Chain A
Amino acid sequence: MSPLARIVATPQGIVFLVAVLFALVLGFLNPAFFTPSTLLDLARNGLVTGIFALSVMLVLASGGIDVSHTAIGAFAMYATMKIVLGIDMDLPIIAYFAVAAIIGAGLGLINGVLIGGLGLNTLIVTLGTLSFFRGALLTFLGTTYITSVPREVIDFSRTILIRIENGVGQMVSLPASFLVLVAITIALSIVMNFTMFGRKVYAIGGSEEAAQRIGIRIKRVKVLIYVIAGAIAGLAGMTHVTLSRMANPFDLVGMELNVIAAVVLGGARITGGHGTVLGTLLGVFVITMINTTLLMAGVPSYWQKFVIGCLIILGTGLPIVFDRLAKYRRRMARPLNA
């Protein structure tokens, strides 16, 4: 097989191809679609989903599932704004992100202690904390929009990496907060592939019992997984503020299924042990493209759900089909008398 064919023959390759085909059809219907500005649009629209998705990928790779990430993001975002406005000091923008990450890590620690320390079921725990964090946010921190965000945030959100004009003369831009995604992508790639912590995550996802037997400190690793996932979710929340230039405590929660769908499309398995950073970004890209293009084409939003559902079934079913096909080919390649 040629290298190209081999890439296409992976499940992610197929998902990607289907999505591209889909885009071609839409591009045919709407020529404005094939402009560089569309790519920028996609990058911007998929930014927060992408950051969340990386946090969820880490958890899925370890054999768990985290639905509380959006609540952590919303809590961290709103709490950070409250704190900064409260102490009323000029802080560099990086400090905002640091505070959000620390708050996210703290909430992640709660997940980590319940899951790693007490050994509770991950879905049950994070369903619980999803509603706990959100409830705590709305009850104790407030329900009002914060629209008067500090000027550092405004400045940052006005910092533009690229700006181009689209077909109808509007300016489309890529904000600097895209760098947050880039930084997390690089950092997480290094962690997953080049540190023992990352390998232990995959090991635990593959077989928890085997991991315990070769001396991996499962509890510690798990706590750390949820702390890191929480920190990333916090960064996603802060990124969201810089995009919308206000902090709405009702935002973010509700997109968790979309995020998990992107991660699964990207090759992570609910059963654990699989998932890559690049695959996850591909999944996010595909989901964002479908959502964006359907929106542009004026297709009702329930169609988006339908199309994404089809893609998930394709993306999870195809590995099995490919596996069979590969086995069949290998057998046929052998000589007749075995």
Chain B
Amino acid sequence: MNDEASGSTPILQMQDIRKAYGSVRVLEDVSLELGAGEVRCLAGENGSGKSTLIKVLSGVVRADAGQVRLHGRRLSSDPMAAIAAGLSVIYQDFSLFPNLSVWENIGFLRSVTCEDVFHRRGARRRLAVDTLRRMQVDIDPDTPVEMLPVASKQLVAIARALANQARIIVMDEPTTALTRSEVAHLLDIVETLKKDGVSFLFVSHKIEEVFAVCDTVTVLRDGSVVMEGPIGAFDAGRLVEAMTGRSVDSQRLPREQSPPQPPFLEVSGLGRRGEFVDVNLALRPGEIVSVVGLLGSGRTELAQTLFGYMKPDAGRIEIDGKPVAFGDQTSAIAHGIAYVPEDRLTEGLFLSQSIADNITVSSLGKSTSFGILGAAALLQRARAAVQNLRIKTPDVTPAVATLSGGNQQRVVLARWMEHDPKLLILNGPTVGVDVGSKRDIHELLVSLSRSGTSVMVVTDDIPEAIALSDRILVMVRGRITASFDAAAVDEDTLYNEVIREDRT
């Protein structure tokens, strides 16, 4: 793509960074350089140390050895110093203030760097409004961040980094919750800023994005740099192989057709005012159905309604041919339904509790005999789940907070699989999961479905829907507008159907 960067002197150098948590070595002699106007991709599997490297760079985590140099000067391990030197970070977990308004969140970083004494409301609000406009997103700047859906929170986190006139912008998986058009705007902005000499360190598990925007790549595996070079030297297969150490297929998963069975759950004329209307759908054992739609199309609300999280206004739900009305999640769970939510941080995990507790918490009944919990049995189950989903951790006792983002996602999956559900509903099951493990999770879901579980996947990841499902339903503005046989549809057809807005 653009090679002007490689000749100039680097503005950022990280040299021989080393970091261990206890006996777990997370980073081993990692070195990395970034030139002016360069976009470098930091690639690696879940738990390979990307976020940790970023936290060392931004001064949030102190490295055991090695140094960071910005503009040739050594940077002390202090967030303030890094920000003052022109570094902005979009953290994987956003790191926003839920209680403050959108504009104040966006403007806060600037106020801190300017060492303002007074709160300059007018100026900061204008800065935020301008930044949001530049990103072409429509978020009310006065809403408190806690009221926003995940995707908007992510956009606010991006806006905050962009607003600060940084010279180096680090993006740790900035697009996990965004739609294609939002991603496209973001990549446009990156291109523009790049022309002004702003450098980027970009982490993403979405391979197309990496190829669309990056000039150079550094691949981490188990905390060491295993490969590095201009993006031109890579193709998708080679990059994935460098990350995972094996080659990973992205084709549709092979599977045997299961014989048609009566539906486990059937829905007719289901509607909820303002969210979705007249939904008809049958979920059968041995079949994976994907519901694909844009954010706000009602896909999440539909899934949550099937899990008893909300009540429908119209229509009926039948399980095994008998009509049911879920009062709440508990009764849905009692009927054998499990739901993996999209926002794992707020809806799913107890971050400060151990991995084992998080996995077994909602299925304690399984290890109970005469009302007494079998601790050993619980541990064993948790260990089996960790192995099954290849969660990267030395043991099941550390807190979930110590896991990498993608591995936290797997803990949520593990918990619901522990239920042996009859129907498993997953909302964005592989958000933030690396390509290799994404494939593993898909394989796991296919084998789960072949063993007689109904699986429903809600996603906006079109390749995922095609690779994984048997049947794909498209949801547009609260209606199911099309149904495809996943084996016979291609990405473009599906995409055009998904973005079709004006069909009533």
Contacts and interface: CB of A to CB of B under 8 A. Distances in A.
A270 B202 CA distance: 38
- Size band of the B side of the interface? 35 or more
Contacts, number: 99
Contacts of A213: 58, 60, 79, 89, 91, 95
Nearest to B110: A214
Given A199-B104, A212-B60, A331-B273, A207 B477 contact: no
- Chain A binding surface SS class: helix
A170 interface: no
Interface string B470-486: 00000001110000000
B208 interface: no
Nearest to B116: A196
Contact of B100 (A206, A330, A337, A338): A206
B476 to A, nearest CB: 9
Contact of B97 (A206, A215, A335): A206
Contacts of B251: none
B79 A273 contact: no
Nearest to A197: B117
Contact of B275 (A214, A217, A338): A338
B276 interface: yes
Contact of B118 (A194, A206, A334): A194
Given A196-B116, A199-B104, A338-B298, A206 B273 contact: no
Contact of A214 (B83, B273, B298): B83
B83 A215 contact: yes
A337 B79 contact: no
A198 B119 contact: yes
A269 to B, nearest CB: 9
Given A198-B119, A331-B273, A337 B477 contact: yes
Contact of B504 (A196, A197, A337): A337
A330 B479 CA distance: 19
B95 A214 contact: yes
Interface string B362-387: 00000000000000000000000000
Interface string A189-231: 0000111111100110111011111111100000000000000
Contact of A203 (B97, B116, B272, B273): B97
A333 interface: yes
A44 interface: no
A209 B95 contact: yes
- Size band of the A side of the interface? 20 to 34
Nearest to A213: B95
Contacts of B7: none
A273 B477 contact: no
Nearest to B115: A196
Contact of A338 (B82, B83, B91, B478): B478
B221 to A, nearest CB: 27
A189 B34 CA distance: 46
Nearest to B276: A338
Given A196-B119, A213-B79, A203 B108 contact: yes
B236 interface: no
Interface in B34-83: 58, 60, 79-80, 82-83
A197 B7 CA distance: 44
B98 interface: yes
A202 B117 contact: no
Given A198-B119, A213-B89, A331 B112 contact: no
A69 interface: no
Interface of A: 193-199, 202-203, 205-207, 209-217, 272-274, 330-338
23 contacts: A195-B117, A196-B118, A199-B100, A205-B99, A206-B97, A206-B98, A209-B95, A210-B95, A210-B97, A211-B97, A212-B79, A215-B80, A215-B84, A273-B98, A331-B272, A331-B275, A334-B273, A334-B275, A335-B274, A336-B277, A337-B478, A338-B275, A338-B276
